[in-house]
Amino acid sequence: MEIKNQFVHHDYARKPSAEFYELLTPKLADFSNAVDTAESLSAARQQFSKAGIERIILVHGTMVGTDSLGWYSHWERGVPWLSRKLKQGYKQLVDTLSRDRGNYDERFASAFQKGMNGTDPRESISVERLDWTGENHHLGRADAAVKLCHLLLDSHEANERLMLWGHSHAGNVFAIATQLLQASTAGNRRLLSRFFHTTSFFHDSTGRIDIARWRRLQKRLAEYSERSEVFSPVEIITFGTPLRYGWPKSQEGRLQHFVNHKPQNPNQLFRGRWPANSKQWIRAMKGEDGDFIQLAFIAGSDFPPAYWSRSAYRANRWLSRLFEHNFRNSDRLANLKKALRVSQQGHATLVDYASVDSRARECCGHAVYTDTRWLGFHANWIAGRIKNSR
C-alpha cells in the first residue's frame, strides 16, 4: 500500500496474483555436498557474468548480527572500544554456534566465492558479507539500510552492478534501502526529510546509531535528487523474508523471493497455515509445514529497543508511522491467520525443501536457505530467472 510521503508497506488484505509465484518440489540432485558445490555453481557464474554482475553481497537476518538485543551499542558513547570489542566477539560466537544454519557464515561465503572464481580473473565475481546489528525493530533495520545505501551509491558511482542476497529480515532492510533511493530519484524530499528526522531524537555522540553516517547519506541523496539521477539496477534475492515493507517500482523484474513452503490449501497454494490447535503448533515448531518464522514475524512482531534508551524508543515509534502507516496491533492476529507467503512485488519461488532434506525443518523451517548444500540449487535457479526476465 502506498501513501504519499510514507513508505510502501505490505497490504495483507490483497491476494497475490498467480503470476507472482510458482511451486517447486526439488529433487535429490538439486542439493549437493561441500565437495561439488563449486562445480555446481559454474553455470550460475557464467550467467551472472553475462548479466553484468560484479559483486554479490550476503546480508544475514535478525538475531545473528553484531548486537541483536541492542545492548552493546549503548556503550559506544562512554566506552567505544569495549562496545566494538563486544560486538565483534558476539558475532564471532554467533557464527561459531550457528555456522550456516540461518546465517551467512564465513564457510558459506568461502564456498560461494570459490564457485564464483572463473579461470579468467575478469570473469570472477566477488562475494562479500555485510553485517548489521540484527535487531528486530524498525530502527535496527533502518540503520542497516543506511549502511547498505552507502554501499549501493558507491557501486553506482563506480558503474558496478550488484546482486544482494538477504536472509529473513535482511530482505526488509533491502526494501527500506531501495525505497530511499527511489524517493531520491523521484525528488520526494518530504519523505526523505521525515526519514532522516529520526536522527533528531539522539545526541550526536549517543553511539546508538551512527548519526554521522545517516547525515552523510542525507546529503548524498539530496545531491542525487537535484540531478534526478536514476540509480544502477540491483538484483535482489530474499530468503524467508517476513512480509513487512513493500518495494519500489524500480525493482520490478529484479526481485526474487524464496520461501520454504508446504501447501496446505489446494485452492490457495500461496498460503501457509497458522496453527489453530496444539497438534498444529507442534508441527509448526518442528518446521513440518514450511517456514513458520516467515509467517510469524510480520507487522506487529518487533521487539522494543533496549528499555533504558528513551531516544531509541521514540525514534522507533517515528519510523513505525513512516513504514507501517496506521498499523494496529489488534489487526495482527487476523493478518497472521491469512498465512501469506507471497509478496505483492517480485516473483516468489515456494520450495518444499523438506521433501528431500529432513534438515530443512530445523529452526522452525527457517534455516535451510543458508545451508551450503543448497547453494548450487539457489544460484542456478536465480541465474535461470535472470536469464528469463532480461
Check whether 274 has a pLDDT greater than 70.
yes
Burial class (CB in 10 A: 0-12, 13-18, 19+), 278: exposed
Say what the pLDDT of residue 265 is. Answer: 83
Q: What gap in Å lies between CA 16 and CA 122, rounded to an integer?
A: 41
Is residue 68 a contact partner of residue 61, using CB atoms and an 8 Å limit? Answer: no
Check whether 389 has a pLDDT greater than 50.
no
Say what the pLDDT of residue 388 is. Answer: 47
Q: What gap in Å lies between CA 374 and CA 386, rounded to an integer?
A: 19
Check whether 239 has a pLDDT greater than 60.
yes
Check whether 47 has a pLDDT greater than 90.
yes
Say what the pLDDT of residue 4 is. Answer: 63
Intra-chain end-to-end CA distance of the chain, in Å: 27
What SS3 class is residue 257? strand
Check whether 34 has a pLDDT greater than 60.
no
Q: Which residues of 203-234 are buried (b: 16+ CB within 10 A; e: fewer)?
A: eeebbbbbbeebeebbebbeebbeeeeebbeb
CA 92 to chain centre: 21
pLDDT tens column, 117-169: 977 777 899 999 999 999 999 999 999 999 999 999 999 999 999 999 999 99
Q: What is the mean pLDDT of residues 205-228?
A: 90
CA 223 to chain centre: 27
pLDDT tens column, 289-337: 999 999 999 999 999 887 667 889 999 999 999 998 877 777 889 999 9
Of 358, 361, 383, 348, which Cα lies nearest the Cα of 16?
348
Q: What gap in Å lies between CA 151 and CA 162, rounded to an integer?
A: 10
pLDDT tens column, 57-89: 999 999 898 888 887 777 776 687 788 888 888
* Residue bearing cell 508441527: 283
Say what the pLDDT of residue 292 is. Answer: 97
Check whether 13 has a pLDDT greater than 90.
no
* Confidence category of residue 28, pLDDT binned at 50, 70, 90: confident
Q: Report the chain's C-alpha Rg in angstroms.
A: 20
Q: What is the mean pLDDT of residues 220-249?
A: 93
Percent of the chain whose pLDDT exceeds 90? 65
Burial class (CB in 10 A: 0-12, 13-18, 19+), 295: buried
* Confidence category of residue 5, pLDDT binned at 50, 70, 90: low
CB-based contacts of 173, cutoff 8 Å, min separation 6: 59, 132, 141, 144, 145, 148, 166
Say what the pLDDT of residue 1 is. Answer: 58
Of 188, 319, 296, 185, which Cα lies nearest the Cα of 250?
185
> Residue 186's CB: how many other CB atoms inside 10 A?
15
Q: What is the mean pLDDT of residues 17-23?
A: 80
Q: Which of 38-47, 235-244, 278-287, 348-357 has the lowest mean pLDDT?
A: 38-47
Percent of the chain whose pLDDT exceeds 70? 94
The pLDDT mean for the chain works out to: 89
